[in-house]
Amino acid sequence: MRILQINLHISFFCSNFAANLEKCSYMAHLHLENIGPISIVDIDLRRYNVFIGPQSSGKSTIAKLISLCSWVEKRAATTLSENIFTNAEDFKTQAEDYHKMHGYFNTDSVLEYSSDIIQLKYKKNEFSLNLLNKTAYKRKKILYIPSDRNLVAMDKLDRLIVETNTNLRGFMFDWFDARETYGKEHHLNILDLNMEYYYDKDAKVNKDKIIHINGKTYEIALSDASSGLQSVTPLTLLLNYFSKQYFLDYGKTTTYEKQREQKELEEKITSLFPVIVPNNKEKGLFNALEHRSLYNKLTSPNTTDFIIEEPEQNLFPSTQTQLIAYILRACNETGLEHSFTITTHSPYVLAQLNILLFAGMLEDQGKSDDIKKIVEPLSVIKPQELGVYAVQNDGSIESIVDEKTGLISQNYLDSASIELSEKFQNLYQLLF
C-alpha cells in the first residue's frame, strides 16, 4: 500500500510538471528505414539518447548510424565542404567498413539526418549532403566505445591493430592516447570499487595495472582482472580523459596532415568570408576577430559525444547504477555539455536514469538543496535532455518516456519482474 501511495503521488506531481514542461530544442532528427534489423526509426535526437531492447534487435545499428551522421556533420562543417563522398556507394562503403555493417544496406534502405548544420539523405542508392550553416558548428570529439572494449586487456595489443580503419581501431587508438595520462604518479579511481588503474610505460609486458585496496593493497595486470573490471576500466578511463584532460592536451602535438588540413581550412574561411580591411572600399564579411573565432571553433574541440555500447556489461547491478551516475557526472562537471548515446539491456540502467530524471524535475521546482542530500547534483538529468527508446523485435522503436509523468514508463521498468512474479505465483499455486 505504501508503494502504491508513493507512485500515485509521483504520478500526480509529474503530470502537473509535464503539462508545464517547455518544448525542448532538439539537436538533430534521424529517420531510418530498412537498414539491417531496423524497419523504421523516426526520432529527434537529444543530448542524451538511450536505446534498450533484446539482443540483435538493432540498438547498435542505430548507435552506429548516429555516430556516422555525427562524423559526416563534423567533416562537412570543419572542411566547409559538401564533397565528403563522391556518391551513394562511397557513403555506404564508409558505413560498411568503419562500423562493420556489411550487408545491412539494400535498395529499400533510407537514411535521413538533419540538424541546424547539415541535411543528409541516402535513399534508393542516391545520396545528397547539404551544408546549411557554415558558421554555427562547434567542433566535437566523437568517441565510439564498443561492447568489445575489454580487448584492451590483451597484452601487446598495439602490435595486433590492423590497418583497416574501423570503429574498434579508432577506439583502441583513443585508448592508447588516453591511458598515458594515468601513470604511476596519477592513478585513476575506478568508480567506488576500491580499485585504481595506472599505466606503467616502462614495463615490457602487462603495462596496464590494477591496484586492489581490500584490507591489504595488492597489484595485478588488467589482463588478470575480472571481466567486469576489463569492461569498466577502459570505459571509466575514456570518460574521465575525454571529458577533461583531452581538451587541455589538444593541439600540444600535431601531424603534417593535420597542419595541412588546418591551413586549407584557414584559406577556405578567408575565401568564403573575406576579412574587413580598414580604409578598403570593398566591404568584407568578417572582421579579423570573427575570422579567428570561426577558425578556432572548427579546429579546437568544444565537447565530446560519447557513444557507448552496453555500459553495464559484466557488472553487478549496484555497479551499473554507479556507472550511470559517473557517466552523467563526466558529461556535466566541466560545463562543456558533453552528450551521450547508450545502448543497453539493463533495467537497472533505466531505473537509475529514472531516479536522476526525477531529481531533475524536482530541481526545476527549486529543491536543489534537498536533492543533493540524496543524489550527486552533477548527475541530475534535465527532462528535456533525455530520450529513451525501446527497440522492438520487428525493427521499430517507441519512446518509453511516459508523456503524462515525464518519467520512464513504470510498466516497462517492471516488465521482466512482473513476468517472473506471475510465473512464481503460478508455481506457488501448485502447492495447494
Joined grid coordinates for residue 296: 578556432
Mean of pLDDT values over 317-321:
94
In contact, 353 and 269? CB cutoff 8 Å? no
Q: Rounded to 5 degrees, what are φ and ψ at 128? A: -145, 150
Q: What pLDDT digit, counting tens, does each position of 187-241 carry?
A: 999 998 999 999 999 998 899 999 998 777 889 999 999 999 999 999 999 999 9
Burial of 191 by CB count in 10 Å (0-12 exposed, 13-18 middle, 19+ buried)? middle
Euclidean distance between CA atoms 154 and 225, whole angstroms: 11
DSSP codes joined into one string, 296-308: HHHHS--EEEEEE
Residues 283 and 276: beta-carbon distance below 8 Å = yes
Q: What is the mean pLDDT of residues 173-199?
A: 94
Cell of 79: 572542411
Mean pLDDT check: name the lowest of 1-5, 18-22, 258-262, 282-286.
1-5
The least confident of 29-38, 58-67, 160-169, 395-404 is 160-169
pLDDT at res. 370: 87
**Please, are residues 231 and 242 in contact by the beta-carbon 8 Å criterion?**
no
Taking the alpha carbons at both ends of the chain, their separation in whole angstroms is 27
Residue 16 backbone dihedrals phi, psi, to 5 degrees: -65, -40
Which of these, 294, 244, 305, lies nearest to 271 by C-alpha position?
Answer: 294
| pLDDT band (50, 70, 90) for residue 367 | confident
Helix axes 167-179 and 227-243, enclosed angle (nearest 10): 70
**Number of Cβ atoms within 10 Å of the Cβ of 374:** 10
Res 7: pLDDT? 47
Cα separation of 234 and 173, whole Å? 12
Residue 401 has pLDDT above 50, yes or no: yes
Asked if residue 405 has pLDDT above 80, the reply is yes
Percentages helix, strand, coil for the chain, rounded to the nearest 5?
A: 45, 20, 35
In tens, the pLDDT along 256-312 reads 888 898 899 998 988 888 876 666 555 556 777 888 899 999 999 999 999 999 999
Among candidates 98, 104, 48, 57, which has minimal Cα distance to 311? Answer: 48
